[in-house]
Amino acid sequence: MNGGHDLGGMHGLGPINPEPEQQEPVFHHEWERRVFALTLASGSLRQWNLDQSRHSRERQHPADYLRNSYYENWYQGLLKLLFEKGLISQSEQDSGKAVPMETHLTDNVLAASKVTDAMLKGGPVNMDIEPPPLFKRGDTVRVRNINPEGHTRLPRYARGRQGVVDIHHGAHVFPDSNAQGIREGQHLYGVQFTSSELWGSEARNDFQVCIDLWEPYLQEV
């Protein structure tokens, strides 16, 4: 989706103002800690996947996405998923009173004793698929000019641009389908673009941008 999250190349956002590395805390407020942990713990209920989680944060008015702080966007995304999956209701949110529900999900609840193992294990997304890769290192490819309304990991600034395949990463879960609950593998490539291809020949200094792109995003030149 062409949302407020797709920021590559946007102007007018001001300076970066990084906090000095030695002074920056991991969290700036207690509520950020809670949103972070609630998001991870709720994810272990397995009612949505990582791409659906990303998509839930993207599905906001672009002005809201940009105005919110990072963990406010996480909160908004989590709330949306909880409502959509029926895990909490609007009236519970309004009243603050939980309505007991029969659920098999309690089996999935992440126990404190399982946190370390679950985090060390993670969730690999590589897959074995039948079709061989269409492209190999050194091939010139053009990024398709597509504008899906759903979740995609194809940034707008790369669409229609020509690049060179730098690496084939194997097949990974395809986010565009995964966000719709369909887990399918597609070949993934690191594709290199020149700054002049992306931004025009007036770019101040030449540089390269490497973007990971799935095969359905690419076409032969």
Partner 1 sequence: MSNHDHQTEPPSEVELKVKALESLLVEKGLVDPAALDELIDRYENRVGPRNGAQVVARAWVDPKFKAWLNEDATAAIASLGFTGRQGEHMKVVENTPHIHNLVVCTLCSCYPWPVLGLPPVWYKSAPYRARAVMDPRTVLEEFGTKLGADVEIKVWDSTSEMRYLVLPEQPPRTEGWSAEELEPLVTRNSMIGVEKALTPDNT
DSSP 106: G
When the beta carbons of 87 and 139 are compared against partner 1, the nearer one is: 87
> Whole-number minimum distance, CB 55 to partner 1, in Å?
10
* Binding-residue pattern over the window 47 to 86 for partner 1, x denoting contact by CB under 8 A: -------x--x--------xxxxx-x--x--xx--x----
> Whole-number minimum distance, CB 78 to partner 1, in Å?
8
**What is the distance between the alpha carbons of residues 91 and 43, in angstroms, rounded to a whole number?**
22
Which two tokens mark 14?
Answer: 């001001």
When the beta carbons of 64 and 180 are compared against partner 1, the nearer one is: 64
> Whole-number minimum distance, CB 66 to partner 1, in Å?
6
When the beta carbons of 146 and 203 are compared against partner 1, the nearer one is: 203
Per CB under 8 A, the list member of 141, 165, 179, 213 interacting with partner 1 is 213
Exposure string for 89-105, b = 16+ CB within 10 A, e = fewer: eeeeeeeeeeeeeeeee
Examine residue 200 and tell whether it contacts partner 1 (CB under 8 A): no
Partners of 36 in the β-ladder: none
**What is the distance between the alpha carbons of residues 76 and 83, in angstroms, rounded to a whole number?**
11
**What is the distance between the alpha carbons of residues 125 and 114, in angstroms, rounded to a whole number?**
21
Residue 36, CA atoms < 13 Å, CB-side half-sphere: 10
> Whole-number minimum distance, CB 131 to partner 1, in Å?
18
Closest by CA to 152, choosing from 80, 59, 46, is: 59
**Cα distances (angstroms) measured from residue 147 to each of 6, 46, 176, 207, 221:** 12, 29, 12, 26, 20
Count of residues binding partner 1 (CB under 8 A)? 96
Q: What's the sign of the alpha-carbon dihedral 59, 65, 70, 72? A: negative
Stretch that binds partner 1, among 36-44, 127-135, 140-148 (CB under 8 A): 36-44
Binders of partner 1 among 150-169, rule CB under 8 A?
153-155, 157, 169
Binders of partner 1 among 84-143, rule CB under 8 A?
87-88, 92-93, 96, 98, 100-101, 103, 105-106, 109-112, 114-116, 118-126
When the beta carbons of 21 and 149 are compared against partner 1, the nearer one is: 21
Stretch that binds partner 1, among 24-32, 132-140, 141-149 (CB under 8 A): 24-32
